[in-house]
Structure 1
Amino acid sequence: MDVLPSYEEATLAPDWLQLAAPYLTAADWRRGCLVNSQWYHQFAPRLWLDPLITVRDLGLHPNDDLAWYRHFVGSHVHSVRPSTRALVRSLDFRHFAVLASGLYSTEASERAISESFKQVPQLFPRLVCLLLDGHPELDPGSLVSPSPNGSQPTNQPQNPLQLLDLSRCRHELSSKIFLSEYFRDLVYLDVSFIPGSIKSAVQNSLNPEFLPELRVLKVQGREMVDSTASALFQAFGLRLWSLDVSHNNLTDGSLDDLLHYCFSSISFRSDTHFATEGRLVRPQEVGSRPFGTFDFIEESDYSFGYHHPQRYFADAPLYSKRADQEGLQEWQVQRSNGLDHRKRDDAEGLKNIILSDAIEDTATTANVINHNVRSTQGGLTHLYLSGNKFTNWGISKVMRASSGRLQHVECESCRFLPQSCPIPANLPTSLEIHGLFGLEYLSRPVYSSNLRSLRVHHSVVTNIPTVGADGLAARAAYALAETTFHERVRMAYPKSLVPDTNPRLRSLTLTGIPTRSIGPMVLEITKFLHLATLQQRKIKEAKRLFHGRGPSLLSGLRHIRLELDPDPSADEPSLPGGSATDFDELLDPTHTIFVAGDPPHLLGDDSWGITTRRSPDPSTKSPDPPLHSANGEEAEPFSYSEIDGEYIQHRVEARDSWNGNVFTIPVWIGPGPGSATAGKYPTAVKEYMANLRDRRLHALPGPASPIHVAAGVPSSKTYIFHAAWDRIVLPKLPLIPFNHKKSAFLAQMRDVAAAIREYRARTCGTPDHWDGQLELVHMDRAARYHSSEYWR
């Protein structure tokens, strides 16, 4: 609950200057300081609050940054009163003097920043925000100097820092840098893409003993492995509410510790909204380590199709039945009502909150910073997992086990199948499939009621994977993903994310979108935009129906960002840097690449350049190819004659059990592909039953999701072997080589961004136009990862 205003705030009318000041320009603040002492009291703190930002607003050209800064720190600051220097609360170097340029720049002026950095704590004793973010001249170690005996650093100013952004600094950080009292009050810390060991830092100073107030931590690109990440998770536990571990070397093995240490066991899920959203049921207290607890979604008459008339209603306030109980008890939590925006955890957002409190310094602003920044939130609500070695299984486990508390999740891409999954002999062993399939139900409010923002691989919406293999050109991989693999993914996972899956979701970013498409990619994206238009239309109709006097309504999806990968050349490999890739051969115009043997229905045989080796007729095709095994031997096949019925009792050992108990569950395997009743089942189920002939795919048992039910699995709380089901995505037929230089499909590829712009132009001014914020962004891979400077 918000705190009451102080006595002074409640009894004194606000100064009109205080109300007007935020709307004036920096030049007006400077003039206002010259009027009288009252005006100076209002405008001087704003003028000096963040001098590097203010001077840019006043018109300083970037070429003059170094010369100005040398004069500012070397002369001007020393001539002003200490009380004036105490008004400086932030130094934001992110866009200041980044390049050594300018007619009057000298070597001395270029060293001015790095030399003056040692004096920052003394020059500006009330500094609370310091942002460097890759500045070439700054050494963060200069902020603190070791004491003569080598123990704790000295330089303890009046106010410790609260926000520190050191990302992409070129200087290696000492593992003991955070022993200084200067950092003890940090709530935000970014140490991404910096040389040095995170493991030794966690052991020495990067832990709650020396950073007790830390709530937002970003450690991207530090080459962390699972053991280091586990130490980090264990050290901070539930203290952090935002954690960024993107672009490291983490695998699914680190996620158990993440879930154990960084997520509270208190759940935001409830049965209150069963009619609208369905509810979670757990027939038995069982689960597995790869999957988590075995929960099923029990659907209402409306929840499966997302068409309940009240699905756009915000949650009503919680009322207590006891007159003496005004709020929630310690063991009680209430999910968000759906009307709020996601809490900002970026440097700019938190800087604005901290500086707002520094300027106004009222009970209200203090409550905002305590509630939005310093509160522990009972564990993580913002999680960034991009650029690691996670699999589809690992990400889905995090979503299931997060108890509905996540507000923002990022995962640019992940492997669909774990590396231990056997690859059929008809496919190259280097084949990689990236995407998030079958996770649509995990973004529903029944699982993720607090989710407001999502940044994930585009396959969540398009059901089109990212495919790569040694010897496969990138553009050919695009076409292969949009045809053969897209068709099989839709067969196995017929439901994908749509706006009404979770009307509480406000922002969606789709990553990894190819710049060129033969059709399906553009079709899936424009279809999603059309569904967003329908959602928008229904929400507006509901508002008109209530005339502003009804319940509060959700806003629905209001922001869509589409991130397009760089456009590859015709010969660029789909797996650059692969150990088995022959780049000389890839550059050979006569080189052949591979596509699936069954020609896609979208393109004819000629367009694919398929050789005289034709695909077999489906009615006469041979049995499934054997799978590669670790020792090169084939596993003993499973026969449906061994069982009676459609279920098999599967025993889960203690080492694989979620709670360490041994248990047995009935897993549905169907009547078998050769039975008299097999013909009534959809194609996906037939493929599932055929895959079960390999005993190695009798693995990863777990509950069937609503997506599996839509594909044909029985709906009455059924368990299936997910290893056999996921295997459906892989093509059955062998890959056939063809000459991509002579293939016509490259000429048929459309520019995805141009196609989306055409769609927007065509719908503009019509009822089919979505009026939310749509971003099309061409990603620059080199600039994005800074590989030349930071990967060692």
Structure 2
Amino acid sequence: MMTTIPDLAWYRRFINRHVKSARLETRCHVSSLDFRNFASRASGLYSSEASERAISASFKYLPELFPRLICLLIDGHPELNPEPLTAATRTSEQSLQLLDLARCPHELTPKLFKSDLFRGLVYLDISFTPGSVKTAVLSSLNPDTLPGLRVLKVAGKEIDNLTASLLFQTFRCQLWSLDLSNNKLGDEMIDTLVAHCIHPSTFHTDSHFDTEGRLILPKDIGSRRYGPFEFIEESERSKHERDLERYLSDSPFYSQRADQTELQEWQAIRPDGLAPLRHDDTNTAKKTLLSECLLTTSGSLDSRGTGLTHLYLSGNKFTVSGIERLLRTSRGRLEHFECDSCLFTPTISQAGQSFKTVKILGFPDTAPLFRPVVSSAIRSLRVHHSLVTRVPSVSMDGLPSASAIRLAEGQMFKNICRAYPLGLAPDTNPRITSLALTHIPAHSTGPVIEKLIQFLELACVQQKAIRHAGTLFDGRKSSVLKGLRHIRFELDPKFSESNDIISTSSDVDFDKILDPGEENFNEETTSGLFDDDVTFGITSRSAPKKAQVQPKRKSTSADEYPRWTSGRLKSPPYSDVSSEYVTCHVNATDSWSGNFYSVPVWIGSGHIGPHAAINEYMWNVQDPNLRTNIGPATPNHIAAGVPPMTYIFYAAWEAMIIPKNSAIREAAKSSIEFRDVAGAIKEYRLQTKGSEEHWDGKLELVRTGG
């Protein structure tokens, strides 16, 4: 690779001598200029005027020198300044279609995109660049100046909810790919995103009820946290993931009229799952545009009017309830979705107040939302590993990493498996072809490794089943789905247990961890969670809620729960009703549609039964603080024992994830050894290689961070 100075010297000769002497016909063959790895090593020369003239100033003349230039990439260059592009004038009908300015250190002028040079821009990446997105949207980053823009990447731009809402209202359904990663976004912008950027027609349908189930939406009932209430009604076949017909793609669209060959505006047919996964990364976009330029075709990146199908939300401040509301209300339109971590915010019971500073990241109940009945078009995911492993990422002030992992893989793992037994499996949605799992700990005491290996085993089972389906439906081989073909495990950096772990209980002040002092605490962490001066966790300094109602009976204490072995619970609501249901009224302020309504909420019989999660739920319902957050029973709740098509108190259910007070001490004193996750995965792959138990898709193990 050439050094910086020879690169610059070559470029100056190229622009000032060779290009000017070349014929116009020759220069018209240049369609792309890629500066990403060109003279990229910073040096003293870069501060000189000559350096700026060498590359940056030449941008002004690029349309004149290369009339058919359609791709310009400057991603990550330490010194190049795209400002001269504002003075560039288009000398032909051709304009740039791809512009990659990501990580450029120079602030972009808000009027940059008013130039005719960008009129035909389809792909724009300005991630991690200085400058206000709000000012740019109001000035030139809008459909008036960029009518053809379809892919927009604005990661790392310090975008807040208000700016995001402005962006959504400005572009509406014009974009099909939007990268909002690493910004300052929270749940408040989700409803605006769905209302303006997701196509209004839905991919949800009853046509596949036999194999997938169907959605049941009670009329005008919902909550601001959940969204419109919906149930998944199962058929006898949709309950079982081994039905081979689930591997068949959807049948083609047939019209009853001979003169109708295309869908009408009011019709929406979901993708059949067979088309190649559409990529929106810079290299693929560049390759696609250049190929279309040579073949004089167009349209691969256009996709007009489809609305958002690719959405990137990693590195923000979303909660699990917010992301789940997004998945439910986006009408099955998303094809690629990324959210590498999400805050789980359970309401804390009286018994769990000592855990009010714990931060839990993960997706305990989200897996069923990626079934085709809800996520009808999804093909690719990049999400927190807990969606598969059932192990959250846990942190507390003063708790070392090793102890936090032991806590997560110990009692919290057991709690989640009990409350939410359904994790994501390959057959949850055979249409998903690519899956990346993020924030996997580098070391595990067992559960993370076991769940990842189990997932690879299930991928192999799916692989065999799809091949069997191809044989069984011999006449429809071309209609069999591919299933999961790409898995990526993203591991967090390694840590040294010897420098991190607590050897004895005397090494840490447990009282300080479990009771960090007098702080305002909001049980139902909502908008206050995202204030800049608030710790991103369950702790909150938002406006205090109404005073908590103290339990009247000592028997409702979590410490007393193990002693409950027989008899009906005697505390309210069980002392007030003989039924398994109580009627609850929802105020207009908490209602999704602003109306007042009442629903029957299932509280159980009050008698101990065979389902451990149900027993604990009934016990928790005795706490008046946990008789809140009403919602429909999900497939996870039903798998744990809740009757289908019923409402429950989510707060009482979520509370069972919170570990007991002794869990931290047990995690700190634990002598269970850690195993290297990457090593265990590699060992498993070597053992199965060449056998029928080997999944032959592409597996990536990636170490992130430093």
Instruction: Report SS of the residue matched to 1:322.
Output: coil
Q: Quote how far apart the aligned CAs of 1:634 are.
A: 4.0
Give the aligned residue type for 1:777. Answer: V
1:600 is aligned to none
Q: Does 1:235 align with 2:164?
A: no
* The 10-residue stretch of structure 1 (441-450 or 157-166) with the greater mean CA deviation from structure 2: 157-166
1:778 is aligned to 703
- Aligned mates of 2:601, 2:126 — CA distance in 1: 47
Change (3 A) 1:377 1:452: farther
- Aligned mates of 1:165, 1:564 — CA distance in 2: 28
Instruction: Report SS of the residue matched to 2:68.
Output: coil
- Aligned mates of 1:353, 1:422 — CA distance in 2: 54
Output the aligned Cα RMSD.
2.9
Give the aligned residue type for 1:592. Answer: V
Q: Quote how far apart the aligned CAs of 1:551 are.
A: 6.0
Q: Quote how far apart the aligned CAs of 1:647 are.
A: 1.4
Match of 1:591 among 490, 507, 511: 507
Q: Quote how far apart the aligned CAs of 1:267 are.
A: 0.6
* The 10-residue stretch of structure 1 (437-446 or 304-313) with the greater mean CA deviation from structure 2: 304-313
Match of 2:484 among 538, 557, 561: 557
Q: Does 1:711 align with 2:640?
A: yes
Q: Quote how far apart the aligned CAs of 1:237 are.
A: 0.8
2:27 is aligned to 85
Q: Quote how far apart the aligned CAs of 1:337 are.
A: 1.1
Change (3 A) 1:587 1:135: farther
1:616 is aligned to none
Decide whether the 8 Å contact of 2:407 with 2:663 is kept in 1. Answer: no
Q: Does 1:765 align with 2:690?
A: yes
- Aligned mates of 1:224, 1:91 — CA distance in 2: 29
Q: Deviations over 1:329-352 (max 9, x none)?
A: 111111111111221111111111
Q: Quote how far apart the aligned CAs of 1:186 are.
A: 1.1
1:496 is aligned to 423
Q: Does 1:206 align with 2:174?
A: no
Give the aligned residue type for 2:638. Answer: V
Match of 2:54 among 108, 112, 137: 112
Match of 1:752 among 662, 670, 677: 677
Q: Does 1:323 align with 2:323?
A: no
Q: Does 1:407 align with 2:354?
A: no
Give the aligned residue type for 2:54. Answer: A
Decide whether the 8 Å contact of 2:101 with 2:126 is kept in 1. Answer: yes
Q: Quote how far apart the aligned CAs of 1:565 are.
A: 0.5
What aligned pairs does 1:499-518 form with structure 2 within 5 A after superposition?
A: 499-518=426-445
Q: Deviations over 1:63-95 (max 9, x none)?
A: 843232222112111111123222211111112
Q: Deviations over 1:251-306 (max 9, x none)?
A: 11111111111112211111111111111112433222211111111111111121
- Aligned mates of 1:438, 1:92 — CA distance in 2: 44
Q: Quote how far apart the aligned CAs of 1:180 are.
A: 1.7
What aligned pairs does 1:510-549 form with structure 2 within 5 A after superposition?
A: 510-547=437-474
2:534 is aligned to none
Q: Quote how far apart the aligned CAs of 1:699 are.
A: 2.3
Change (3 A) 1:354 1:587: farther
Q: Quote how far apart the aligned CAs of 1:632 are.
A: 10
Change (3 A) 1:297 1:588: closer
Q: Quote how far apart the aligned CAs of 1:328 are.
A: 1.3
Q: Quote how far apart the aligned CAs of 1:219 are.
A: 0.8
Q: Quote how far apart the aligned CAs of 1:744 are.
A: 3.1
Instruction: Report SS of the residue matched to 2:354.
Output: coil
- Aligned mates of 2:548, 2:330 — CA distance in 1: 39
Change (3 A) 1:202 1:550: closer
Change (3 A) 1:74 1:477: same
Q: Quote how far apart the aligned CAs of 1:61 are.
A: 8.0
Q: Deviations over 1:342-370 (max 9, x none)?
A: 21111111111111121121xxx23xx2x
Change (3 A) 1:587 1:68: farther
Q: Deviations over 1:691-748 (max 9, x none)?
A: 2223232222111111100011012x101121221111101334554795x8633xx1
Change (3 A) 1:303 1:572: farther
Match of 1:696 among 602, 616, 625: 625
* The 10-residue stretch of structure 1 (755-764 or 124-133) with the greater mean CA deviation from structure 2: 124-133
Q: Does 1:97 align with 2:39?
A: yes
Give the aligned residue type for 1:114. Answer: S
- Aligned mates of 1:630, 1:460 — CA distance in 2: 32
Decide whether the 8 Å contact of 2:362 with 2:393 is kept in 1. Answer: yes
Decide whether the 8 Å contact of 1:473 with 1:572 is kept in 2. Answer: no
Decide whether the 8 Å contact of 2:352 with 2:660 is kept in 1. Answer: no
Give the aligned residue type for 2:292. Answer: D
- Aligned mates of 1:423, 1:262 — CA distance in 2: 41
Instruction: Report SS of the residue matched to 1:566.
Output: coil
Change (3 A) 1:736 1:566: closer
Q: Quote how far apart the aligned CAs of 1:208 are.
A: 1.2
Change (3 A) 1:208 1:488: same
Decide whether the 8 Å contact of 1:175 with 1:205 is kept in 2. Answer: yes
- Aligned mates of 1:533, 1:752 — CA distance in 2: 20
Give the aligned residue type for 1:355. Answer: L
Match of 2:151 among 207, 216, 222: 216
Change (3 A) 1:631 1:452: closer
Q: Which has the larger radius of gyration?
A: 1
Instruction: Report SS of the residue matched to 2:247.
Output: coil
Q: Quote how far apart the aligned CAs of 1:114 are.
A: 2.3
What aligned pairs does 1:466-505 form with structure 2 within 5 A after superposition?
A: 466-505=393-432
2:608 is aligned to 679
Change (3 A) 1:631 1:651: closer
1:130 is aligned to 72
Instruction: Report SS of the residue matched to 2:121.
Output: coil
Instruction: Report SS of the residue matched to 1:399.
Output: helix
Change (3 A) 1:183 1:106: closer
Match of 1:185 among 95, 120, 134: 120
Q: Quote how far apart the aligned CAs of 1:540 are.
A: 1.4
Decide whether the 8 Å contact of 1:592 with 1:739 is kept in 2. Answer: no
What runs of 5+ residues in structure 2 fail to find an aligned partner?
514-539, 552-571
Q: Deviations over 1:203-244 (max 9, x none)?
A: 222111211111111111111111111111111111111111
Q: Quote how far apart the aligned CAs of 1:194 are.
A: 1.0
Decide whether the 8 Å contact of 1:89 with 1:126 is kept in 2. Answer: yes
Instruction: Report SS of the residue matched to 2:11.
Output: helix
Instruction: Report SS of the residue matched to 1:679.
Output: coil
2:324 is aligned to 396
Q: Quote how far apart the aligned CAs of 1:426 are.
A: 5.0
2:650 is aligned to 722
Q: Does 1:566 align with 2:566?
A: no
Decide whether the 8 Å contact of 1:191 with 1:219 is kept in 2. Answer: yes
Q: Quote how far apart the aligned CAs of 1:430 are.
A: 2.1
1:635 is aligned to 549
Question: What is the TM-score when the length of structure 2 is the normalising length?
Answer: 0.88
Match of 2:585 among 647, 651, 654: 651
What aligned pairs does 1:291-306 form with structure 2 within 5 A after superposition?
A: 291-306=226-241
What aligned pairs does 1:426-505 form with structure 2 within 5 A after superposition?
A: 427-505=354-432
- Aligned mates of 1:587, 1:358 — CA distance in 2: 64
1:581 is aligned to none
- Aligned mates of 2:268, 2:4 — CA distance in 1: 50
- Aligned mates of 2:376, 2:667 — CA distance in 1: 50
Give the aligned residue type for 1:763. Answer: T
Q: Quote how far apart the aligned CAs of 1:658 are.
A: 2.0
Q: Quote how far apart the aligned CAs of 1:469 are.
A: 0.5
Aligned positions, number = 658
Give the aligned residue type for 2:616. Answer: E
Match of 2:345 among 412, 417, 426: 417
1:664 is aligned to 598
Instruction: Report SS of the residue matched to 1:726.
Output: helix
